Structure 1
Amino acid sequence: MLILRLAALLSAAFLLNACDDSPKFEFKIVAGSENQVLEPIVKAFCDDKGIACSVTYLGSLDIGLGLRPGQEATVDAVWPASSIWIDLFDTQRRVTHLQSISQNPVVLGVRKAKAEALGWTKGPVSTADILKAVDAGDLRFLMTSATQSNSGASAYLAMLAAARGKPVLEAGDLDDPATLDQVTRLLHGVERSSGSSGWLAELYVDAFDKGATYDAMWNYEAVLKETNDRLRAKGREPLWAVYPGDGVSIADSPLGFLGRGRGKEVEDFFVELQAHLLTSPIQAQIAQTGRRIALGRAAQAKPEPDWNFDPARLVTAVQMPEPAVIHKALTLYQEALRRPSLTALCLDFSGSMQGEGESALRQAISFLFTPERAAEVLVQWSPKDRIFVIPFSGDVAAVWNGSGTAADQASLLAQATRHRVGGGTDMYACVREAYTRMRPLLATDDYLPAIVIMTDGRSEGDPDSFLASRDPGDQRIPIFGITFGDADRGQLDTLAAATGARVFDGAKDLTGAFRAARGYN
């Protein structure tokens, strides 16, 4: 009898183990947003191996910052758009097994009718041709921030190389006045910026649904294909791919392992995953998304002549400079060359912010207006920027304004620090005040405008009524939201959706949310 019972227990244990389909372990990947289309390929392999894989999407700078000395590793693999972000920040060389999965030139997609009007569908286009169109007021484009996103950095570095007329930039090239003047003029063509290549493509497509159009967009060749696929499905005209003849930057999509003491089994799984992505069948799948594949691994995607797409076309590639030169170039972009921002910060100082909320807000403002801290993550203000800080509760409490000089930032910080919380919540009053203050400056067309609302609670008023009451000129200003506490995200989402903006979650990290929002202005 004892033997029979023991056999029954062993049999039950065997059945339980056989039915246990829990994952062997978790595997975390952080990737650029342009890789999101490849996530199903990764997840299918993980599921087949019984591994719980998760992919988090961050901007290139954020991925790089996580690799700085002293930063604790929280993921097992990194997959940025380009290896330059690993070269810049992984000075201790913690990332291993690094290999390129695909290649992706950053090119200019121009609305086809606009490209035809400019004569760009008939032959090669140079950076000088693009500059001529920008100078004449015939071209405006979307482009991600060069300091926050790889596609923006790639476009910017190619602009510098073309202006200097050299295949590889050196530090001294960034002191040449003629080079800097040409790139400053090119960047004046930026109509909207962002911290994400994928979000920028969404903005371009969504604009058609709102009855608006943008001229062009700097983005990855493959993202242009994804965008055009969506535009075709909506019956819209495609973007015409322009490959500047004097050079484009090519993202190498490197996938690397970040060891954090989890054992050989985890590292072996990464090596298997990477090898799987580089097999011919999977490379063929990746090629169909519009990404370029190394010669001999698989056939490239078919050309689409109706918008000048051909991933087999040879392009003049800009060589990436040394990390120190890249860092100098990015600092120069943020502090001097980019189109100046015109920003109104609507800050909730209502009574519900008392305590933890007020403390978090003061910390965030301290970060924004302390140049040394903001410069660590390349979101520092430039002297050409214009800033309005507008505290609100049940009404607008004050308006403080200044430029991005160190002295003005110190003054703005001091005034915000002295302000005290109290009263109700009416964020719409603050936005109306922001419009009034921004209109005279927008008449010059020198600035990229944005309103950023930080609030922790439901506001008085209705977003739809507010949006309907705006002056026509105000409608070009995006309204970004930053939530805190139990904020009514619905109201902020409505404002953001109507104005081509987005909402950032500041509940866990208010300072981080403000930093992310700065990447969009």
Structure 2
Amino acid sequence: MLNAPVTRRRWLAVLLTLGCALGCVAALPACTGGGPAQGEPQGRPAIEDTDSEPAADVSGTTLRVLAGSEVQDMLPILEDAEAELGISVELEYMGTLDGTEAVMAGEGDYDATWFPSNAYMSLFDEKGLLVSQETSIMRTPVVLGVRADRAAELGWDEESPTWAEVVDAAASGEFSYGMSSPVSSNSGFSALVELATALSGTGVAISADDVSLVAADLTRFARGQALTSGSSGWLMEAYDKDASAVDGIFNYESLILQDEGLVEVIPQDGVITADYPLTLLSGRGEDAEAAYRALVDYLRRDDVQRRIADETLRRTDATTPDDARMVFEIPFPNRLETVRALLSSWVSDVRKPANMVFQIDTSGSMEGERLDALKAALVSLTDTGADGTTSLLTFQPREMVHFVEFGSEIKSEKDLEVAADGDLSDVRAYVEGLRTAGNTAIYGTLQHSLELAAQSRSDDNVTSVVLFSDGENTDYPGIAEFSSWYEATPEVQGIPVYAILFGEASRAEMEQLTQLTGGRAFDATGGDLTAAFKEIRGYL
């Protein structure tokens, strides 16, 4: 259960009045406080009045929902809904953009979706056929949380900056920040859209033509990024482990407000609000529709709206103007080509390039299907012809990729800087040449991988190590000796190790390792290595 609400700072009403006036003139979504914005889903969708009809019996119905990982904090409320309604809600988690594309492509067997936003989904022509009903359950804008001491030094605790002022502070080295990947996380993507739209200065939704015009300022902004993540939740966890690593983070207001050391900063020229629409997909049958309606009615109930606001710190119909700061809404792009142009520019040209060491286990136990799965997963990161956002998870121009293949010892190494044309044939050739032999010397090899990463680490790149192994360490040193070496080697500290759990790999050791280095473990024990490698790219 999350913490109770904390007091929120209020800012100058005159800015809000002016912002709302401009927004109305431009026919943009209106300024919002506690209640829904004009243009936001207003609670229940427009369907026939069924108040006089007896409630349908939905007992025993299972509702399969593809959701953003952000709604995991709603599990206690969903458990109470299940107990009262007699239904079962099965959640499967996926990033908003990836999940939307999966649903649009007809992948998976889902009755509903519950992403932070359906704005991206609305850009697809298929939405009208694939979506039956959608209802906003709760809301939270994507804002900036700044450490209290730095907010005071920058003056942002008294007067919110413009987005241009945030860019200037980041470019000058005055302000460092953490932000999740716009390709894999809705909060990161929303922050990027907020920034690009404000910098375009048009007052309307950003277009594909505007992207090139703001690229230089986006590059200046990217200089300040010192912490990256594939999800908004892990971003908060990483910040909480070391709040001194950055001056602030871009994230959902509901997460920012949980940290009393952060001051909520809402740029003057606007933000984007996630409205969490619970969405019923078409053709799922009467039982699924009845269960969906029952769940929506439960979540929209006054007492439950109050509980959501109290426990998750999101805005609901129970939120009053005294509880929540007003925000000026920035419009979401209205064309799919704009979204893809913005993401492509960010990944290929704007952000700090990734500096990655992939430590790959090809010990004897990897023989056969396991090696085939590993090769397929690595080759998927070279598939520049993939559809949608998947193509942006491939290795990108300007990035450095170092491969360290190991068994009982280091068997081969390959360094590659991705050229401007994005040619990845050398990576594919190297991967296809991997062969199995030997034991599993994880930690001795990892010392070398970290030292290699440290040699090319700089303020101008994002450096990390990816460790893949299908078994437990068999050679000296072990995890204890590695931990002692790590603590005594300051030049490698601060480089996160992201470990992929596969086969018989020790979960306990990999979690201990990632906790030590500030990384994260990714579970591929179910066998889907390709999905794990693609997910991990959001952190690199």
TM-score by length of 1: 0.86
**For the Cα contact (< 8 Å) 2:61–2:291, is it kept in 1?**
no
1:421 aligns with 2:453: no
Within the candidate set 352, 355, 358, 1:342 is matched to 355
Separation of aligned partners in 2, 1:217 and 1:464? 33
Separation of aligned partners in 1, 2:412 and 2:376? 20
Q: Identify the residue that residue 14 of structure 1 maps to in structure 2.
A: none
Q: Identify the residue that residue 51 of structure 1 maps to in structure 2.
A: 87
Superposed, 1:65-464 pairs within 5 Å as: 65-72=101-108, 74-88=109-123, 91-93=126-128, 94-167=130-203, 168-176=205-213, 179-207=214-242, 213-228=245-260, 238-259=261-282, 261=284, 263-288=285-310, 289-293=312-316, 297-300=317-320, 303=323, 311=324, 313-324=325-336, 325-373=338-386, 376-377=389-390, 378-405=392-419, 409-442=424-457, 444-459=458-473, 460=475, 461-464=477-480
Q: Identify the residue that residue 38 of structure 2 maps to in structure 1.
A: none
**For the Cα contact (< 8 Å) 1:104–1:252, is it kept in 2?**
yes
1:204–1:258: structure 2 CA closer, same or farther, 3 Å change rule? same
**For the Cα contact (< 8 Å) 1:143–1:194, is it kept in 2?**
yes
1:313-335 residue CA offsets vs partner (Å, 9 max, x unmatched): 22221100114212221222222
Q: How far apart are 1:410 and its partner, in Å?
A: 1.1
Separation of aligned partners in 2, 1:501 and 1:82? 28
1:207–1:90: structure 2 CA closer, same or farther, 3 Å change rule? farther
Separation of aligned partners in 2, 1:315 and 1:429? 52
**For the Cα contact (< 8 Å) 1:370–1:410, is it kept in 2?**
no
Separation of aligned partners in 1, 2:386 and 2:506? 30
Separation of aligned partners in 2, 1:88 and 1:426? 48
Separation of aligned partners in 2, 1:363 and 1:89? 29
Structure 2 counterpart of 1:299, one-letter code: T
**For the Cα contact (< 8 Å) 1:334–1:381, is it kept in 2?**
no
1:516 aligns with 2:535: yes
**For the Cα contact (< 8 Å) 2:361–2:406, is it kept in 1?**
yes
Unaligned runs of 5+ in 1: 1-21, 229-237, 304-310
**For the Cα contact (< 8 Å) 1:97–1:271, is it kept in 2?**
no
- Larger proportion of helix: 1
The higher radius of gyration belongs to 1
1:228-282 residue CA offsets vs partner (Å, 9 max, x unmatched): 3xxxxxxxxx101110111111112111012454x21221110121122222222
Structure 1 counterpart of 2:490, one-letter code: P
Q: How far apart are 1:513 and its partner, in Å?
A: 0.6
Greater alpha carbon shift after TM alignment, 486-495 vs 238-247: 486-495
1:374-403 residue CA offsets vs partner (Å, 9 max, x unmatched): 865131222111110111111111210112
**For the Cα contact (< 8 Å) 1:84–1:323, is it kept in 2?**
no
Q: Identify the residue that residue 233 of structure 1 maps to in structure 2.
A: none
Separation of aligned partners in 2, 1:344 and 1:69? 33
Q: How far apart are 1:171 and its partner, in Å?
A: 1.6
Within the candidate set 468, 493, 499, 1:475 is matched to 493
% identical aligned pairs: 30
**For the Cα contact (< 8 Å) 1:402–1:408, is it kept in 2?**
no
Separation of aligned partners in 2, 1:23 and 1:223? 34
SS across alignment from 1:56: strand
Larger relative contact order (Cα-Cα within 8 Å, sequence gap ≥ 6): 2
Separation of aligned partners in 2, 1:407 and 1:246? 36
**For the Cα contact (< 8 Å) 2:141–2:253, is it kept in 1?**
yes
SS across alignment from 1:226: coil
**What is the alpha-carbon root mean square deviation over aligned residues?**
2.0
Q: How far apart are 1:408 and its partner, in Å?
A: 5.3
Structure 1 counterpart of 2:173, one-letter code: G
What count of residue pairs does the alignment treat as equivalent? 472
Q: How far apart are 1:516 and its partner, in Å?
A: 0.7
SS across alignment from 2:229: coil
Q: How far apart are 1:39 and its partner, in Å?
A: 2.3
SS across alignment from 2:120: helix
SS across alignment from 2:64: strand
1:88–1:426: structure 2 CA closer, same or farther, 3 Å change rule? farther
Q: Identify the residue that residue 494 of structure 1 maps to in structure 2.
A: 512
Q: How far apart are 1:144 and its partner, in Å?
A: 0.6
Structure 2 counterpart of 1:513, one-letter code: A
Q: How far apart are 1:517 and its partner, in Å?
A: 0.6
